Structure 1
């Protein structure tokens, strides 16, 4: 019995030692073999051992002919007319110089001939409802829709929304071809898409490209909404613009505005809205409003005659390494809550200043445009779950969204402290023009147009003509954004960056009371 036990023990010991030697030899050989491998072999081993999960996109086949044939009849030419009063003494485009960079200047005749504009639209119901852009039809005295069968029908505006640059118009017709609505949440970067519309002076045109990015904010909807001369700190304006564009390299030009961005199954995933261009024509990037946001806006127009928008009731900063450093925190992903509204949805649920928003309804939220778009699809009274990082722990809160009055209250609350800081700074600001932004290579900026003696800007020698591009890590384009950025001042230390009147760049921090 004892000899058997010894034999079993020796066998186990031998097996253990042999296994250890085998594993050690394997690791040694593995390390040596990697040392002798080139990059290609290393990658083969890596991908063999680390297979990626399959990515499912919204796209279909790579043959675009069926999608183009299905979609083209449902995309129409929108022609607008403006009387001479509207076209003289100012741009007939409600966005002024801003959209001239994207879709060109409408004509400004010196005679009695009416000014004309053009764009595109997408038929979404057989009885004549058409999606387009707000800037295509705003202030138009006459709107005509030219169908692909050459019929010209007059259209009426059902609703317009500057905050998303969307509009819904309608023509009196039946049995119209429609474009099937898709799901923009399923769109993946890298998938093929088609842009359909009426660019330049051409008839219906289809171009192809890929989705270059999602949830892009390019700062065009917030610009020029607020006139600094009209700013009232006791009743500050609210910037409710939502920019979460699908970016594509499908060719888009003037006239494509309001047209369709579709996947290769012929499903509408976006409404084409803008291009990034210095020349006014396509230079590589186009931007479309996600269809899921557009569907909600259109439904509101049909059901209520206006957009019903819910609000969380917070101001926040999008985190990155620089912002995290300025806030003296380690987290570099998420949205840092700068303030909450008393009685707002977030405050009522228990969310506090300093929380970092990480998820909405269980989905990760990294950028402000992602959060704004998803909340922009909801209405007052809708319930959402917000997950925040607080003192190293994730906490989930249930919120009931509030209406526009709560958002106005948010602006009033955040302006109290920032107005005091504005008085301390002793400066007034005007928006930097698009042409100057291009000149200096910046995406944001306000110009210091006056400096009061004895105040902070005077004491720290920030002269009139200085361009302020950022305050406390936030880009600023108007007085409202300056106020919002000032409200994020920490420990009475204000950080600003910009360009001096002689063209030099600067960044510095100084104390304010």
Structure 2
């Protein structure tokens, strides 16, 4: 009985307390609006608006309409030989077999000039181009540049063709909207949208092959290579070239050769037959906190000059090891790929203005760019350059060309840089033009390539490339 008394008393006291408080509040005057202070969190409207963060006038349809008719489907037929015997294996014979690859291209003039990627048309024995109206034409390869991965084709049509005008890719801004137009997986006339994610992107700064891509998140897949990257005005700002993916398909990153680079390459191919590359004549490095500490400098952005090539424009202008390049012709240089991208749009004998820092003191220099005296042998993965009489004398050689650097990972570990190539297939090599002609002929005939060379220790040896 006692255990029921305590809960009953607590209930009675609670009831009396509530009645007292209610009666008290009834007798109080109401609060005015000025006395009422709200401290609750503000209410956020979560209703969806389709144009949040976008310009109300943004419309991709005009850019798509302008560009879709000027992007073509490129079919590359390559004839390879399958060895059927040991004799075929060593001499390059065998049964011929046709292999077909596809990609995209961009019409850049009404008379039928087309830009694509070098890897789209490489080793082609036959090229076919299909327009958006399903008409197919044979295409002629005018020229290509493996280094920038740009190729120039030409078709002869009965009428003036739709084309895409060039824009200045140096004016592209990170975050601006772009469209990628191409033929992924043989799906013709495909348009995807994205933004510019980064500029002057080098996919691997340690491979001795400087790059400077526009990076976007517009969906690009196999078959898009050689297609157009355009701005919202339908102007060409890049040639879609690569993706980086563990699956081989698009995962959010795609890369395009800037239009300024592509335009300069095709103009050189049309005027000179090859690419006229102006070089500064330095060995450089990116900067960050760790490298700045190593070099003993305070800057963490720019290009650190680690070496100067003898006889180069950089040497003649007074550039020194330890200088930091921060501007090139009025454009900021934050990393080596910025400098690479700006240089690819220049020619030999162009004069450029550099702003540098030397011992924490700003300086300005005018540099005359010179012609690169080297040649890349794609089949061997080597870059060759002409050498000097002094080096020939040191090696006890009457002629030869120098290996400037290895471009393939499998050869980098052999440290071939600096060897002197004296013979190709037992024929003397006196300059890079002769080496280029010999290699081209051997590749055309699909013959093995024997390279005879002399090391820095004057040791002679040979390598056979198949």
CA distance in 1, matches of 2:83, 2:101: 11
1:249 counterpart residue number:
217
- 1:181 Cα shift? 1.3
Separation in 2 of the partners of 1:112 and 1:131? Answer: 29
Deviation of the 1:431 alpha carbon: 6.0
Q: Distance in 2 between matches of 1:319 and 1:311?
A: 21
Runs of 4+ in structure 1 off by over 4 angstroms are 86-89, 110-113, 406-413, 429-433, 445-449
Structure 2 residue aligned with 1:289: 257
Residue in structure 1 matched with residue 192 of structure 2 by the alignment:
207
- Which of 114, 119, 130 is the aligned partner of 2:103? 119
Bigger relative contact order (CA 8 A; separation at least 6): 1
The 2-side partners of 1:349 and 1:431 are apart by: 33
Equivalent in the alignment of 1:83: 79
| Cα distance between partner residues in 1 of 2:78 and 2:175 | 40
1:310 aligns with 2:294: no
The reply to whether residue 258 of structure 1 matches residue 226 of structure 2 is yes
Give the match's secondary structure for 1:256: coil
Q: Which residue of 1 aligns with 2:129?
A: 145
TM-score by length of 2: 0.66
Name the CA shift for 1:60/1:212 in 2 (closer, same or farther; >3 Å): farther
Q: Which residue of the partner structure matches residue 183 of structure 2?
A: 198
In the alignment, structure 1 residue 70 sits paired with structure 2 residue 66: yes
Alignment of 1:171 with 2:155, yes or no, is: yes
What is the alpha-carbon root mean square deviation over aligned residues? 3.4
Partner SS state of residue 185, structure 2: coil
Alignment partner, residue 170 of structure 2: 185
Higher helix share: 1
Note the C-alpha offset of 1:87. 11
Q: Is the 8 A contact 1:242 1:369 kept in 2?
A: yes
Higher-Rg member (1/2): 2
Q: Displacement of 1:405 after TM fit? A: 2.4
Tell me the alpha carbon deviations over residues 396-420 of structure 1, each in whole angstroms, 9 at most, x when there is no partner. 111111111289999979xx9xxxx
Alignment partner, residue 356 of structure 1: 324
Equivalent position of 2:21 in the other structure: none
Q: Contact (CA 8 Å) 1:242, 1:376: kept in 2 or not?
A: no
Q: Any conservation in 2 of the 1:200–1:254 contact (CA below 8 Å)?
A: yes
Contact 1:60–1:264 (CA under 8 A) maintained in structure 2: no
C-alpha deviation, 1:373, in angstroms: 1.2
Picking from 300, 303, 317, the partner of 1:335 is: 303
Note the residue ranges of structure 2 that are not aligned, 5 or more in a row: 1-41, 43-54, 86-93, 376-382, 392-405, 416-466
Contact 1:270 1:290 in 2 (8 A): yes
Is the 2:83–2:95 Cα contact (8 Å) retained in structure 1?
no
8 Å contact kept, 1:319–1:335: yes
Say if 1:171 and 1:86 are closer, same or farther in 2 by CA, change over 3 A. Answer: farther
Per-residue CA deviation, residues 288-346 of structure 1 (Å, 9 max, x unaligned), is 01001111111111111111010111111111111112223222111111111222101
Q: Is the 8 A contact 1:431 1:447 kept in 2?
A: no
TM-score, normalised via structure 1 length: 0.60
Match of 1:29 in 2: none
Q: SS at 2:81's partner residue?
A: helix
Q: Pick the aligned partner of 1:136 from 120, 123, 126.
A: 120
Decide whether aligned partners of structure 1 residues 374 and 281 sit closer, same or farther in structure 2, where only a CA change above 3 A counts: same
How many pairs are equivalent? 334
